[in-house]
Amino acid sequence: MVDGELYDPLISRNFGQTTELKHRNKLLLLMAGVLGLREIELTLVTVSVFIAPDGSFNEFAVLPDTITRDGAERPVVLANVELKKAFEKYIKWLIESGINTMPNKHYLGLNPNAHLFVDDNFKPFTVQKRGESISPHAMNKLLDQLIKNAGLWDAGVRRLSLVRTCVIESYRAGMSTNDIMITTGFSDDSIAKILVMDYSVYSPISEWFIKRKTTKQNRLEAFKRRRKWMI
């Protein structure tokens, strides 16, 4: 994401000096584009996921199953330098602004159970109930607006583009597809499709995945034939 073609317009045009919420905007976009957090996860993630009681920063964090899109806990690694800087500046802004703070030294003086991100009114992002599920409608609207602010909406960029960028940049950085599956929650097939879409760098990816699936299927068929004679 930081080195991707979306980074400059998406971050710079939402990080103006006159934007009071610029630190929030930048961290939101990096959390989506670098860590692959979905809208509902960005809405519900709390301070305690990333900040320990002693105030230290958790570079290795686990998103609880109560907030993840698919209902399964997921580890995320906050090793990206740009993201860590953005996180530190956003937390500093929260503390200096007195947002979600408590009169104690634990968690840097922040309420550990408070949602990490606040809306334009400095309140938690609201959600809408749809039957037994909830929709992060407010977060959806904000991310859509940030994309439009950058002039990327008409170019076909959408919220899902941010998470896809996370997959592509993770692969470029040397992560295995299995590690990407674990940290993003995407299936093997979904990752394959996303990487194949990155034609400029990964045109051979499609052939590689097809060959791998064919080889796997051939092994299964061979095993079935052997098992038939073993019975």
Q: What is the DSSP string of 109-169?
A: GB-TTSBS-B-TTSSBPP-EEETTEEE-HHHHHHHHHHHHHTT-GGGT--HHHHHHHHHHH
CA–CA distance, 174 with 79 (Å, rounded to integer): 13
Query: Residue 57, SS3?
Result: strand
Tokens linked to 2: 């930081």
β strands within the chain, DSSP E? 60-63, 74-77, 128-130, 133-135
The model's confidence at residue 199, banded by pLDDT at 50, 70 and 90, is very low
Q: Is residue 126 pLDDT above 80, yes or no?
A: yes
Report the alpha-carbon distance of residue 134 to residue 17 in Å, rounded: 34
Residue 60 has pLDDT above 90, yes or no: yes
> What is the reported pLDDT for 208?
46
**Measuring CA to CA, which residue among 85, 84, 69, 64 is closest to residue 160?**
69
Residue 176 pLDDT greater than 80, yes or no = yes
Look up the pTM and report it.
0.83
Q: What is the share, in percent, of the chain residues with pLDDT greater than 90? A: 56
pLDDT digits 0-9 by tens, 23-34: 999 999 999 999
Q: What is the mean pLDDT of residues 97-118?
A: 96
Task: Report the 10 Å Cβ neighbour count for 166.
Answer: 25
- CA-to-CA distance for 53 and 214, rounded, in angstroms? 49
Strand-strand pairing, 128-130 and 133-135: antiparallel
CA neighbours closer than 13 Å in the CB half-sphere of residue 43: 21
Model pLDDT, residue 223: 65
Residue-wise pLDDT for 68-98, tens only, equals: 988 999 999 998 999 999 999 999 999 999 9
At 224, the pLDDT band (50, 70, 90 cuts) reads: low
